Amino acid sequence: MSETEDRFNNFDEDMINKLYDTAMAIKNENHDNPNNKTIFSSVNKRMAVTDAAMHIAYILTELKDKVLVVNLDSRSTAAVEEYIHSKAKPNLFTTLRNSMFLSEAINHSAFEKLDIIHVEEMDEEELMAKFNDYNVLSKLSPLKSYYDHIFLIGPPFEECENYGAFLELADSAVTVISAKKNDRQELNHYLQKINLFNVKSFGIL
């Protein structure tokens, strides 16, 4: 049993079924809409977002699909690397500074059909400036020609004043919440923001 498969044992049967159902919903959507890009995010559950995104990516690779994960949360880099062992260094904007092609930032993981790009660590103001300077959406969209799925890992909503910069990169969203405690007002605010950017929701995990 691989380490990633072993980590599935940390989920109860209900959660595993939800992850699989979400993976299949994304697979079906991307069959009909091959340009779809999916953001995984939450109000304040960084680790849960990483778990959900990487487990669903793993499920899809087991179904022979090719997945690119673009990690836009620099504080999640170590957690993502625990799953995929790519030894990737954050290089999204470092690459775009010297190249027009985001494909040159892609790192291969220990899984044949799962690749990764990490964003460099920087404060929100600098990150937003980089998004504007390099027009990340225009660089990201062509990568769908090489992958069945592009997943974006977003930082927690409550940590960012300008979350629209992340949502404008996505066509669909998976929102992760706590099973025990949620700030309903903040969650509703985030879901309204998703709707404002016309991002299709695959539901809540």
Burial 93-114 (b: 16+ CB within 10 A, else e): bebbeeeeebbebbbebebebb
What is the C-alpha separation between 166 and 194, in angstroms, rounded? 10
What is the C-alpha separation between 99 and 93, in angstroms, rounded? 10
| 74-103 pLDDT, tens digit each | 999 999 999 998 888 999 999 999 999 999
- In percent, the amount of the chain with pLDDT more than 70 equals 92
What are the two backbone dihedrals, phi and then psi, of residue 24, each rounded to the nearest 5 degrees?
-70, -35
| 130-185 pLDDT, tens digit each | 999 999 999 999 999 999 999 999 999 999 999 999 999 999 999 998 766 667 88
What is the C-alpha separation between 143 and 139, in angstroms, rounded? 8
Q: What type of residue is 62?
A: E
Q: Which residues contact 131 (CB under 8 A, 6 or more apart)?
A: 165
Q: What type of residue is 15?
A: M
* Tokens encoding 10: 């940390």
Write down the pTM of the prediction.
Answer: 0.92
Q: What residues are paired with 176 via a beta bridge?
A: 42
